[in-house]
Amino acid sequence: MRSMASTTTTKGIAAIVGVGPKLGRSIARKFAHEGYTVAILARDLGRLSRFADEIAREEKAQVFAIRIDCSDSRSVREAFEGVLSLGFVEVLVYNAYQPVSWHPTNFTDIRIDSFEKSLAVSPVAAFLCAQQVIPGMVERGRGTILFTGCSASLNGIAGFSELCCGKFALRALSQCLAREFQPLGIHVAHVIIDGVIGPPRGPSTLMQREVVAQQRLGGGDGAMMMMDPDALAQTYWHLHVQHRTAWTQEIDLRPSLTRF
């Protein structure tokens, strides 16, 4: 665990589980920008520490990098001992998933250990993370828990049993927690990402502008239109700050050119 900067804030901690170079990093940066102390968690501590340095420097925020292996329940519990030592966790974003091949796998070829690992990373680790932070949220009568899903959260897809079963269960967990804890002041929402996430798209480079132009001109079906993780992160932030008289439980996001 590393502390990357120093700041004083009355806000709680924003814990982002599953931080890679795209969506997780963008969500962490957004919450840091809004004044939160941020704990970012992933398996690769070296890369995670670089992200923490970068976000802390750019946002003048306090960022902690904590290693977690979401397929290992002991690692999840130990990681959250570190997170909880920082203070009250006001926001939990569960963005971890077990990578799967883009190519469908014949059902009879799926190994049971691979299937079990997908379940461990999606619903089981999310369950454990939520268990660590909910008591503090209930005590204070506030908090936000956001789960990242995908199109496989809604529909079974031939050849992707590992992914779909894990994501189906994660969605069910989000609904159960929302119904149990929303009356206690905890906002639980499930975010369905219906598309492929690309790199952040700022207007700063010629290459980025060319990518945007190509996406607008090519493939009217939207197949080549990547989703901007910074834009997605804005939605996670808006879910967190929604007024409690108008909470969203589930939202789906996709590129404008996508046919659905």
Distance CA 198, CA 161 (A): 25
Q: What was the pLDDT predicted at 110?
A: 92
Q: What was the pLDDT predicted at 10?
A: 72
Distance CA 244, CA 181 (A): 13
Residue 105 near residue 160, CB atoms below 8 Å: yes
Q: What was the pLDDT predicted at 202?
A: 63
Buried b (16+ CB within 10 A) or exposed e, 69-96: bbbbeebbeebbebbbebeebbbbbbbb
User: Where does the chain show beta strands of DSSP type E?
Assistant: 2-3, 13-17, 37-42, 63-67, 89-94, 143-150, 186-193, 250-253
Per-residue 3-state assignment (H helix, E strand, C coil) for 144-187: EEEEEEEHHHCCCCCCCHHHHHHHHHHHHHHHHHHHHHHHHCEE
Q: Give the other-Cβ count within 10 Å of 110's Cβ.
A: 15
Helix (H, G, I), strand (E, B) or coil at 216: helix
Distance CA 125, CA 180 (A): 19
pLDDT in tens, 4-63: 333 344 789 999 999 999 999 999 999 999 999 999 999 999 999 999 999 999 999 999
From 175, 176, 152, 174, select the one nearest 165 (Cα to Cα): 152
Count of all residues that appear for the chain in the document: 260
Distance CA 81, CA 64 (A): 13
Alpha-carbon separation of residue 247 from 7, 128, 241, 244 (angstroms)? 30, 24, 9, 6
Q: One digit per residue, pLDDT tens: the chain, 260 residues?
A: 444 333 344 789 999 999 999 999 999 999 999 999 999 999 999 999 999 999 999 999 999 999 999 999 999 999 999 999 999 999 999 999 888 777 999 999 999 999 999 999 999 999 999 999 999 999 999 999 999 999 999 999 999 999 999 999 999 999 999 999 999 999 999 999 999 999 987 644 444 444 444 444 444 444 458 999 999 999 999 999 999 999 999 999 999 988 88
Q: What was the pLDDT predicted at 221?
A: 45
Q: Exposure of 226 by Cβ count < 10 A (0-12 exposed, 13-18 middle, 19+ buried)?
A: middle
Letter for the amino acid at 210?
E
Q: Which residues contact 26 (CB under 8 A, 6 or more apart)?
A: 200, 229, 230, 232, 233
